[in-house]
Amino acid sequence: AQSVTQPDIHITVSEGASLELRCNYSYGATPYLFWYVQSPGQGLQLLLKYFSGDTLVQGIKGFEAEFKRSQSSFNLRKPSVHWSDAAEYFCAVGAKQAGTALIFGKGTTLSVSS
């Protein structure tokens, strides 16, 4: 079955500390991988994506993610968290074929403490 697992429901990080949000996927085809962020009352904003090539991808707001095929993982990282990063983060997987639906994980809520 195709699925995305985000094992951490809620994470609290101190401002300035590093962050890693975990994502594992199960997908039959070559995966396209995404991280989206959702602030309260807002829509889903794309942080970064992996289609092919370099397995370490850079995104907006200082985020990066590393695709590890052997571990079926696409973990999101940030070296120094800012209070404005507090939000819900969703990992998603899709296929190369145009129009394919995305499969989302349940999300990880990030809280930032001062």
Partner 1 sequence: EPEVTQTPSHQVTQMGQEVILRCVPISNHLYFYWYRQILGQKVEFLVSFYNNEISEKSEIFDDQFSVERPDGSNFTLKIRSTKLEDSAMYFCAGTTGSTEAFFGQGTRLTVV
- The stretch near partner 1 (CB under 8 A) out of 23-31, 41-49, 63-71, 72-80 is 41-49
Task: Show the 3-state SS of 34-82.
Answer: EEEEECCCCCEEEEEEECCCCCEEECHHHCEEEEEHHHCEEEEEECCCC
Q: Count CB neighbours of 76 within 10 A.
A: 23
Q: Specify the stretch interacting with partner 1 by CB under 8 A; choose among 19-27, 65-73, 74-82, 89-97.
A: 89-97
- Out of 28, 52, 70, 101, the only residue in the binding site for partner 1 (CB under 8 A) is 101
The residue ranges that bind partner 1 (CB under 8 A) are 34, 36, 42-46, 49, 90, 92, 94, 98-107
